[in-house]
């Protein structure tokens, strides 16, 4: 990045790139906290491809967290740095998986304790370590530097094998070494032949590209991650002609060569973790009580994981009953669906601001999904070098600003991204238009369009909170959740008091209120935003238990690597560049 003209620093107050401070991996003030245990017995479908007889996997997900005292206060937060310890699960005595699946059969809820897990599904003797997977934010460019992107971040993805004291790198599953393949025409031709031969497995979503074609380290990129060329590693390698002549008629999802390449892109590590994800992650977990109430998240999983859980449950139920499970995997940005053992998938309509396929893109695939709730599939960015457009289910672009359907947080800008294949950090986003409700000449009835330079990708519709909003008057028991909620906005002062845990100071002047999209465990935020919790002593919070507000990802302090309070310096460095909400606070 430095060679490409991007200046980087570990700790900075200015609008320059910030990199991970490796001292967090050495200090006694930090540790990797277990935030989740994930049943992936359905990964047995992949094990079978290589002759592995295990019954899938169990994953223990750890997230870097720190806690230390300074000036009499406990300073604590998590950081966007995950390790996933993956274990293979031993089969039943007869070599099957019916009993293994049955041990997970009780519906998991808050009453299930660690004793039940370790004495049953997580019995240590049945687990064999497989690998350690890393997904970590390593660079962040603030919105003050990326004024039209609204910020950028880079995430490194690697897999390690561990055998005693020996550590090795392992290939990333189904993720091509794009640079090496681009330089070796013979190797690329062999990969194309593998894809042509195994096209039915790729369509199903259960395939294993041979190691000789795979990368051992990749970087995924946000913002606009689902659309970025760098997160579509197969697209620059193959053209439609490379897969011309294939018979797609019997396939479930893929209908054209273009769809086949998109299917491969989505199955690569960076493709999956930047489409239907939350800031490059699918599992974040919840905060403990040491985390500042102004730095807590309400929903700890991604839209993809939420949508995929019913599929995994259906797979587990069928296996426990000795039936053949439905092995099909949807695209990672697909909405929730109803699954059955006959192999049928019935997608629910995509909710407001959730991903969708434009009609010309959807036509390349088999059964897909529609936008619900009066929304229309609308592209937010046209990207050079990418065949599938970034699109979301949004209000029609000609909706008036005083429309009752308009809400705070709705995108207000469209744009284009000029891709830089060799240096994705130098991709450039250009604003090309506005939604009609925010076009010049329209009277300022209710909502304004807040620009990306304050940290809001694609801009947001914004309306301040009135007395009814402050009291959550629109939230009624038994009624559907309104689209917007009176949340928090901040800025530089907010960043400082969160980092120093000066909660009283925050509430006394650094925190302002403004309307944001409402979110919950069943209703997710759009790409580049995530569901933040309201502080527990917010007046009237009893009306909105379990409901949060959508914040730009990097407005949430724990979702960025830079400017945290540190145990190794004498002063707290927590001021930021252009902080989200600064313009609104004026």
Per-residue HEC secondary structure of 373-436 comes to CCCEEEEEEEECCCCCCEEEEECCCCCCCCCCCCCCCCCCEEEEEECCCCCHHHCEEEEEEECH
pLDDT tens series, the chain, 586 aa: 878 887 776 654 566 788 899 999 999 999 999 999 999 999 999 999 988 999 999 999 999 999 999 888 888 999 999 999 999 999 999 999 999 999 887 655 556 778 888 888 999 999 999 999 999 999 999 888 888 999 999 999 999 999 999 999 999 999 999 999 999 999 999 999 999 999 999 999 999 999 999 999 999 999 999 999 999 999 999 999 999 999 999 999 999 999 999 999 999 999 999 999 998 999 999 999 888 888 899 999 999 999 999 999 999 999 999 999 999 999 999 999 998 766 678 999 999 999 999 999 999 999 889 999 889 999 999 999 998 887 999 988 666 555 567 889 999 999 999 999 999 999 999 999 887 566 554 444 578 899 999 899 999 999 899 999 999 999 998 899 999 999 988 655 665 666 565 644 554 555 688 999 999 999 999 999 999 999 998 999 999 999 999 999 988 889 999 878 889 864 444 333 333 333 332 2
Please give the pLDDT value at position 444: 45
Per-residue burial over 558-569, b if 16 or more Cβ lie within 10 Å, else e, is bbbbbbbbbbee
The two tokens of residue 150 are 């609204």
Q: 276 vs 284, 327, 524, 525, CA distance in Å?
A: 14, 20, 10, 10
Q: Which helix (H) or strand (E) holds 57?
A: strand 57-70
- CB of 335 closer than 8 Å to CB of 350: yes
Q: Quick one: pLDDT at residue 203?
A: 97
Handedness of CA 157, 162, 166, 170 (dihedral sign): negative
In this prediction, residue 507 carries a pLDDT of: 47
Residue 173 to residues 10, 213, 245, 327: CA-CA distances in angstroms? 31, 10, 27, 18
Which pLDDT score is estimated for 7? Answer: 75
Model pLDDT, residue 395: 87
pLDDT, residue 571, reads 40
What pLDDT shows up at residue 482? 93
Backbone angles phi, psi at 22, to 5 degrees: -70, -10
pTM as predicted = 0.92
495 close to 545: Cβ distance less than 8 angstroms:
no
């Amino acid at each position: 990045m430095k060679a490409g003209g991007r200046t980087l620093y570990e700790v900075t107050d200015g609008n320059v790139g910030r990199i991970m401070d490796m001292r967090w991996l050495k200090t006694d003030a930090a540790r990797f906290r277990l935030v989740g245990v994930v049943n992936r017995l359905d990964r047995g479908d992949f094990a079978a491809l290589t002759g592995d007889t295990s019954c899938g996997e169990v994953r223990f997900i750890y997230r870097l967290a720190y806690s230390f005292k300074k000036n009499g206060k406990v300073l604590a937060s998590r950081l966007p740095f995950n390790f996933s310890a993956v274990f293979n699960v031993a089969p039943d005595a007869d070599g099957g998986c019916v009993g293994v699946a049955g041990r997970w059969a009780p519906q998991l809820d808050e009453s299930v304790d660690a004793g039940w897990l370790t004495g049953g599904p997580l019995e240590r003797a049945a687990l064999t370590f497989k690998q350690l997977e890393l997904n970590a934010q390593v660079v962040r460019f603030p919105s003050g530097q990326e004024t039209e992107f609204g910020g950028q971040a880079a995430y490194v993805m690697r897999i390690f094998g561990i055998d005693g004291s020996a550590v090795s790198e392992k290939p990333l599953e189904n993720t091509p070494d794009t640079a090496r393949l681009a330089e070796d025409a013979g190797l690329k031709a062999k990969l194309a032949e593998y894809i042509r031969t195994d096209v039915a497995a790729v369509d199903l979503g259960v395939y294993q590209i041979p190691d000789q074609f795979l990368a051992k380290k990749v970087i995924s990129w946000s913002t606009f991650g689902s659309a970025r060329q760098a997160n579509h590693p197969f697209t620059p390698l193959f053209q439609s002609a490379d897969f011309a002549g294939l018979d797609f008629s019997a396939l479930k999802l893929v209908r054209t060569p273009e769809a086949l390449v998109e299917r491969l892109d989505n199955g690569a590590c960076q493709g999956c973790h930047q489409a239907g994800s939350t800031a490059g992650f699918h599992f974040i977990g919840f905060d403990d009580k040491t985390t500042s109430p102004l730095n807590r998240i309400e929903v700890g999983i991604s839209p993809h994981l939420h949508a995929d859980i019913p599929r995994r449950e259906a797979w587990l139920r069928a296996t426990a009953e000795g039936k053949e499970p439905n092995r099909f995997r949807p695209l990672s940005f697909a909405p929730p669906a109803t699954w059955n053992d006959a192999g049928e998938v019935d997608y629910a309509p995509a909710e407001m601001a959730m991903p969708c396929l434009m009609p010309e893109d959807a036509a390349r695939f088999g059964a897909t999904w529609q936008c619900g709730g009066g929304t229309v599939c609308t592209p937010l960015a046209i990207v050079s070098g990418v065949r599938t457009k970034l699109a979301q289910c949004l209000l029609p672009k000609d909706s008036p600003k005083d429309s009752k359907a308009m809400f705070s947080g709705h995108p207000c800008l469209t744009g284009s991204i000029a891709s830089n294949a060799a240096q994705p950090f130098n991709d450039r986003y250009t604003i090309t238009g506005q939604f009609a409700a925010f076009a010049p000449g329209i009277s300022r009835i209710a909502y304004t369009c807040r620009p990306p330079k304050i940290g809001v990708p694609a801009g947001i519709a914004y309306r301040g909170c009135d007395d009814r909003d402050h009291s959550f008057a629109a939230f009624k028991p038994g009624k559907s959740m309104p689209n917007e909620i009176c949340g928090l906005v901040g800025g530089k002062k907010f960043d400082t008091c969160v980092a120093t845990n000066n909660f009283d100071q925050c509430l006394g002047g650094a925190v302002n209120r403004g309307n944001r999209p409402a979110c919950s465990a069943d209703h997710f935020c759009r790409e580049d935003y995530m569901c933040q919790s309201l502080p527990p002593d917010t007046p009237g919070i009893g009306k909105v238990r379990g409901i949060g507000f959508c914040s730009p990802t990097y407005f949430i302090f724990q979702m960025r690597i830079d400017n945290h309070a540190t145990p190794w310096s004498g002063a707290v460095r927590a001021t930021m560049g252009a902080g989200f909400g600064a313009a609104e606070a004026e």
